[in-house]
């Protein structure tokens, strides 16, 4: 269960190459295609970008698919991995309008994934952080303690976190649970 690498021609976006790879037509006329998708930033560790898609199979059944991808500009390669809802992906940001397009299923992994996505979508969005805000990650962050209070440092579009004299670039912080403290 590996990933696939695809060359990205100059003038083409990596996301477009990944989406085109999914749209396939067999010689006998059977067709696989993405009906609708949404792209988001990934966690920064495994995949820098995530695509949530309503994917139509040749039998007209529509399933949920999560595609993680990462672009390597040095050799113009995009590496991507497709995970169907039946495999129980652990990314839960699929929007409700895509979930509403999916066919009925009795697969327990797919049902659990759909429920977690809807639960995620129902949660209130956290406050947008401003320069100087004090935040805490109640579940900790990596090796950092849950008791650590950080000061938000915003420079241009970059958000970093200061604790004492250390300045941290916490990749994936926006996907983590955090709370603003006074």
pLDDT, position 154: 92
pLDDT, position 138: 85
pLDDT, position 118: 94
pLDDT, position 43: 67
Q: Are 149 and 136 in contact (CB under 8 A)?
A: yes
Phi, psi of 58 (to 5 degrees): -60, -25
pLDDT, position 1: 58
CA 16, 3, 90, 113 dihedral sign is: positive
What is the pLDDT tens value at each position of the chain, 182 positions in all?
588 888 899 989 988 888 888 888 888 888 898 999 998 887 666 778 899 999 999 888 999 999 999 889 989 999 889 999 999 888 888 999 999 999 999 999 999 999 999 998 998 877 788 899 999 988 888 788 888 999 999 988 889 999 989 999 888 787 778 888 87
Q: Which secondary structure element, helix H or strand E, spans residue 14, and what is its range?
A: helix 14-22
pLDDT, position 110: 94
pLDDT, position 45: 64
Q: What confidence tens digit (pLDDT) does each residue in 59-87 have?
A: 889 999 999 998 899 899 998 899 999 99
């Amino acid at each position: 269960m590996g990933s696939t690498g695809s060359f990205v021609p100059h003038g083409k976006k990596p996301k477009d190459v990944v989406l085109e790879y999914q749209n396939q037509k067999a010689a006998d006329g059977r067709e696989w295609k993405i009906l609708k998708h949404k792209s988001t930033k990934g966690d920064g560790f495994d995949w820098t970008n995530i695509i949530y898609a309503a994917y139509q199979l040749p039998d007209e059944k529509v399933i949920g698919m999560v595609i993680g991808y990462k672009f390597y500009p040095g050799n113009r390669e995009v590496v991507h991995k497709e995970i169907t809802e039946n495999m129980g992906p652990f990314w839960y940001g699929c929007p409700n309008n895509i979930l509403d397009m999916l066919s009925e299923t009795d697969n327990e992994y797919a049902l659990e994934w759909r429920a977690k996505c809807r639960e995620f979508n129902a949660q209130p969005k956290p406050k947008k952080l401003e320069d100087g805000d004090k935040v805490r990650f109640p579940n900790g962050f990596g090796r950092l303690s849950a008791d650590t209070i950080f000061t938000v440092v915003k420079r241009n579009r970059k958000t970093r976190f200061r604790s004492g004299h250390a300045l941290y670039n916490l990749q994936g912080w926006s996907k983590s649970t955090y709370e603003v403290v006074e």
